[in-house]
Structure 1
Amino acid sequence: MGDLFDSSNGNFDIQKSHINDKGYFVVTAGETNNGILGKSDVEARIFEANTITIDMFGFAFFRQFEYKMVTHARVFSLKPKFKTTHKQGLFLASLFKHLKTKFGYDNMCSWAKIKDDKIQLPINRDGDIDFEFMESFVAELEAERVAELEAERVAELEAYLAAASLKDYELTADELSALSKFENYNWGEFEYRKIFNHIKQGKRLKKDDQICGDLPFVMAGITNNGVANYISNPIIMFPKNSITVDIFGNVFYRDFEFSAGDDTGVYWNDEREFSKEIMLFFATAMSKSLLGKYSFGNKLRSSKSFNIAMELPTNNGEIDFEFMNNFIKAIEKLVIKDVVLYSDNKIKATKSIVSSNQ
């Protein structure tokens, strides 16, 4: 490789204390953030853009910008002895990726150890390095990545729409109205027992007695939304379209059949089929009514919750289920729209990087 690159090292040992987000990027050892420690304006040697850095572990990166190096991290710079474009530089840097499998703390990489190594490069019919192939190969990979991101975006959108049973994320007139009226709407208090005709406590099942299976087993806590295990024990099964409230007041909507431990209460109504959106609204209202009231020293049991009241929107003194339904659908669509915009921005950023390197 000595006939392809010139190598050089830094002349000042930059420390973390020198990082001040000013001046030039500082390159150190490691893969995190592509080895970029931050920026510093400390007086130190500045290395040219369009060069390759290799650290003591063998991590190699192409640098299209000027930079400084942390010398104690044993980073060295390779400058090609020929003019290199960004894509060609990426291609060349990829040829050093195998070094990270050869070097480490016990055997640190250095230019002296690798300068006599050989690398394979594409050549044209005249036997010269085929820079045009390198350029087109990386361009093709970049185009494939953009296509992958666009495919992921479509898949994500379709998955969210399917999960929410929505055809699109455009708000209807009723949904827009619900959002605009939410803060100034009429509200009333309604006891849990007036909403649910079933308020039950789960059954104790010690961890050692749990048999592995497919039935979600809900216990107190917020990790994994309270699903502590999947069991096959012949134990009480609760219906989907239910709400669970644990002894600490953590509330979750369940759209699947499940079982629950004795530290969790279950709430549902089998005389009136509330929609998923209505149940989600109930769950949020219940969570608000319980916030900060229960803990290890004051545990909530379902039997103590019958007379607890939640605030719900009303119309002529009655619960306004239509408003609740429209409001939750609007919130779902806004969340989906945020996901779509995030994906679109990710694709846009990738395209911008690719186009700027043409």
Structure 2
Amino acid sequence: MQEVKWGEFKIGDLFDINRGNISNQKELIHDSKGICFIAQNNNNNGFVDTVKPQNHKIFKGNSLIIGRQTGIVYYQEKDFITTDGVLVLTAKENFIENKNTGLVFVSALNKKMLSFGYNNTVSEAKLNKIKIKLPIKNDTIDFNFMENFIAELEAERIAELEAYLSVTGLKDYTLTKEEQQALDDFEKLKFRKFNVIDIFDVKNTGNILSRDIVENSGKTPYLCASITNNAVSSYISYDEKYLDKGNCIFIGGKTFTVTYQEKDFYSNDSHNLALYLKKEEKNKSNYLYLATCINKSLKHKYSWGDSISNKKIQIDKIFLPVNNYQPYYDAMETFISAIQKLVIRDVILYADKKIAATKTIVNKNN
């Protein structure tokens, strides 16, 4: 990277800019074999669902999208349709041939999007004037460098992941008999309603405004009501009298974001809730299972205009698996252990596949 030469390029010179033509998402019809529907979501790369293609403008893969209100840039690998709130950037000379190249453009463009948001929406006219920095060779964009750099960077991260899995013992993803049985018996579990306050002690969290913190000033999680990054907005150092105890379920009050928090934390809003299990055995696996139960049982009740509160949750009920009419905590723990192993298995297989693919790309371009 120290030896790379950089050039500036206007977005309008590199891309054709268009907008989606979907104004009413409710008219879309789900189809598992249909086309990707993309919206200006802040997660899942903008993907919402696969739907039946109707009279919608279809955009080719290897394109970039930008949410007009969010300013967030994503790379889209497959053909897709999108809303009129999304701008689509299609390379004029089809120079984005794969994900690695697309990700470089995403990174370069995201750095220019910081000033955009709901009060300063992105438009075609504004984009056309923006310049981004790209690696060059012989005064032209160095696409080989982009592809190799991203491939090697990904391989490095995957190698670190493999090392971590080995050290922590997570690379063993073989299910025990009990775990396999828990998966097989899941559909047979009986559930019944419980009062939230019979299962948890509920308290409001502390309240530290974002304007009063210094981002990345410490090692303690600073939580907000966001679904991304497990609700962690930053890691800060602050007055410990505002610290909330971890090993609990955290609910973002205004958005009903439900997460498990292992460590002590600070919160950005006193409307957020912390739920602590009353039972003696308070392990992570049980909390993860219970967080999903809370989300499934209550999410339909609450919205931004009718948010959850400590007062409201006092009469709320959640569905839990039972054994002899009591919460079946052993089944919860074993089931989560099995799910974790299945996820780890997929991660390890993905890592092995990506390392092999990276070696092929690097060897091809060298």
Q: TM-score range by the shorter chain?
A: 0.5 to 0.7
Q: 3-state SS of the aligned residue for 1:286?
A: helix
Q: CA deviation at 1:192?
A: 1.5
Q: Which residue is 1:320 aligned to?
A: 328
Q: CA deviation at 1:289?
A: 1.2
* 1:239-275 CA distance string (max 9 Å, x none): 2211101122210000111022213100113762311
Q: CA deviation at 1:331?
A: 0.4
Q: 3-state SS of the aligned residue for 1:292?
A: helix
Q: 3-state SS of the aligned residue for 1:257?
A: coil
Q: Which structure has the highest strand share of the two?
A: 2
Q: Is the 8 A contact 2:208 2:266 kept in 1?
A: no
Which of 243, 251, 256 lines up with 2:258 in the alignment?
A: 251
Distance in structure 1 (CA, Å) of the matches to 2:310 and 2:249: 12
Q: CA deviation at 1:278?
A: 0.4
Change (3 A) 1:30 1:222: same
Distance in structure 2 (CA, Å) of the matches to 1:100 and 1:321: 58
Q: CA deviation at 1:207?
A: 2.5
Which of 214, 219, 222 lines up with 2:219 in the alignment?
A: 214
Determine what percentage of the aligned residue pairs are the same residue.
30
Q: 3-state SS of the aligned residue for 2:244?
A: coil
Which of 203, 206, 220 lines up with 1:203 in the alignment?
A: 206
Q: 3-state SS of the aligned residue for 2:245?
A: coil
Q: Bigger shift: 172-181 or 336-345?
A: 336-345
What residue ranges of structure 2 are gaps of 5+ in the alignment?
A: 1-15, 17-58, 62-90, 100-134, 142-147
Residue identity matched to 2:136: K
Q: CA deviation at 1:223?
A: 3.3
Change (3 A) 1:341 1:299: same
Which of 134, 156, 167 lines up with 2:161 in the alignment?
A: 156
Equivalent residue pairs, number: 234
Distance in structure 2 (CA, Å) of the matches to 1:348 and 1:205: 46
* 1:61-83 CA distance string (max 9 Å, x none): xxxxxxxxxxxxxxxxxxxxxxx
Which of 225, 230, 233 lines up with 1:228 in the alignment?
A: 233
Residue identity matched to 1:275: N
Matched, 1:345 2:353: yes
Which of 97, 111, 114 lines up with 1:33 in the alignment?
A: 97
Q: Bigger shift: 217-226 or 179-188?
A: 217-226
- TM-score normalized by the length of structure 2: 0.54
Change (3 A) 1:34 1:294: closer
Q: Is the 8 A contact 1:278 1:321 kept in 2?
A: yes
Q: Is the 8 A contact 1:210 1:233 kept in 2?
A: no
Distance in structure 1 (CA, Å) of the matches to 2:355 and 2:224: 40
Q: CA deviation at 1:319?
A: 1.4
Q: CA deviation at 1:183?
A: 1.3
Q: Which residue is 2:245 aligned to?
A: 239
Q: CA deviation at 1:277?
A: 0.3
Q: CA deviation at 1:354?
A: 8.8
Q: Is the 8 A contact 1:220 1:226 kept in 2?
A: yes
Q: Is the 8 A contact 1:178 1:323 kept in 2?
A: yes
Q: 3-state SS of the aligned residue for 2:294?
A: helix
Which of 136, 141, 144 lines up with 1:100 in the alignment?
A: 136
Change (3 A) 1:321 1:199: same
Distance in structure 1 (CA, Å) of the matches to 2:60 and 2:273: 53
Distance in structure 2 (CA, Å) of the matches to 1:20 and 1:155: 34
Q: Is the 8 A contact 2:207 2:242 kept in 1?
A: no
Matched, 1:170 2:170: no
Q: Is the 8 A contact 1:188 1:313 kept in 2?
A: yes
Q: Which residue is 2:310 aligned to?
A: 302
Distance in structure 2 (CA, Å) of the matches to 1:326 and 1:214: 31
Residue identity matched to 1:232: Y
Q: Is the 8 A contact 1:217 1:231 kept in 2?
A: no
* 1:202-242 CA distance string (max 9 Å, x none): 23332332354432221222233322332413442222211
Change (3 A) 1:303 1:162: farther
Change (3 A) 1:200 1:354: closer
- TM-score normalized by the length of structure 1: 0.55
User: Runs of 4 or more off by more than 3 Å in structure 1?
Assistant: 27-31, 99-102, 151-155, 160-163, 211-214, 347-357
Residue identity matched to 1:221: S
What residue ranges of structure 1 are gaps of 5+ in the alignment?
A: 1-15, 22-26, 36-98, 106-141
Which of 272, 278, 283 lines up with 2:291 in the alignment?
A: 283
RMSD: 4.0
Counterpart mapping for 1:38-53 below 5 A:
none
